[in-house]
Chains A and B, each alone.
Chain A
Amino acid sequence: DAGVTQSPTHLIKTRGQQVTLRCSPKSGHDTVSWYQQALGQGPQFIFQYYEEEERQRGNFPDRFSGHQFPNYSSELNVNALLLGDSALYLCASSLAGSGRVYQPQHFGDGTRLSIL
């Protein structure tokens, strides 16, 4: 049973560029959340996608956008990259629906993004 998979594992970009990160959820899951984890800190919620729509957003600027596809996979796009965007970007999946709120999100191993 495949877990959450993310690609690429590492990426180096320069300031001002844009980047797209990809996530395939755990088999059977329909909801994808994205988190940013700076070095030495806990993950920070960016947004969550369900039924191909952004369901909730954290305190991140509009430069961060996303998409969910009919097969539940998801992309995170970041425009006009800043040095401060250097971080580990984590994708987590879960199964939505009534009675399922008390189920944990399962995380991938992330994409390490470095901005030069």
Chain B
Amino acid sequence: GESVGLHLPTLSVQEGDNSIINCAYSNSASDYFIWYKQESGKGPQFIIDIRSNMDKRQGQRVTVLLNKTVKHLSLQIAATQPGDSAVYFCAEMATSGTYKYIFGTGTRLKVLA
């Protein structure tokens, strides 16, 4: 089924520490995964993506890990900065036969000074 989630979990991290945001996806047929960052009053902003034929992908200060066995995705942010404070969503897509993204519940990241 689709993940709708009514409660937004919060992760509080000290500035300069690393953050790990987790996501459990719902469809075993999903083969494309994307992390988005959404700041207050803004639309989701693309951070990083990964295909199911990979288990790790790195960007600038971010790393996405994919564990297909347990249908788990994580986003690691290195040296977290105040500007990283936002809500983070994972999205999944089964590229065969569908064009829609299914979004996870979302996690609010608070960076403490």
Q: By the criterion of a CB under 8 Å from any partner CB, how many residues of chain B are at the interface?
A: 30
Q: Least Cβ distance of A101 to chain B in Å?
A: 4
User: Closest chain B residue to A94 by CB distance?
Assistant: B99
- B49–A104 touching, CB < 8 Å: yes
Q: A104-B46, A104-B49, A107-B36 are in contact. Are A42 and B104 (CB under 8 A)?
A: yes
A45 within 8 A of B: yes
A106 in contact with B46 (CB, 8 Å): yes
In angstroms, how far is the closest chain B Cβ from the Cβ of A46?
9
For chain A, the count of residues having a C-beta within 8 Å of the partner chain is 27
In the assembled complex, A24 has its CB within 8 A of some CB on chain B: no
B34 within 8 A of A: yes
Closest-by-CB residue of A relative to B100 is A45
| B59 CB-CB contact with A under 8 Å | no
- Choose among B4, B41, B46, B98 the residue that contacts A41 (Cβ–Cβ < 8 A): B4
* Nearest CB of chain B from residue A32's CB, rounded to whole Å: 11
A107/B49 in contact, CB under 8 A: no
- Within the complex, which residue of A40, A45, A104, A106 is in contact with B102, where a contact is CB–CB below 8 Å? A45
B8 & A101 in contact (Cβ 8 Å cutoff): no
A44 at the A/B interface (Cβ < 8 Å)? yes
Pairwise interchain contact A42-B5, C-beta atoms closer than 8 A: yes
- Are B42 and A109 neighbours in the complex by a CB distance under 8 Å? yes
For window 39-72 of B, CB contacts with A under 8 Å fall at 41-46, 49, 51
A104 surroundings in chain B (CB, below 8 A): 34, 46, 49
Query: 11 A-B pairs, CB-CB below 8 angstroms?
Result: A33-B101, A40-B6, A40-B8, A41-B6, A42-B91, A42-B104, A50-B99, A90-B44, A101-B95, A102-B49, A102-B51
Q: Which residues of A line the B interface, CB within 8 A?
A: 4, 31, 33, 35, 40-45, 48, 50, 55-56, 58-59, 90, 92, 101-102, 104-110
9 further A-B pairs in the complex, CB-CB below 8 A; given A56-B99, A101-B32, A110-B42: A4-B43, A41-B105, A41-B106, A42-B103, A43-B44, A44-B4, A104-B46, A106-B46, A107-B36
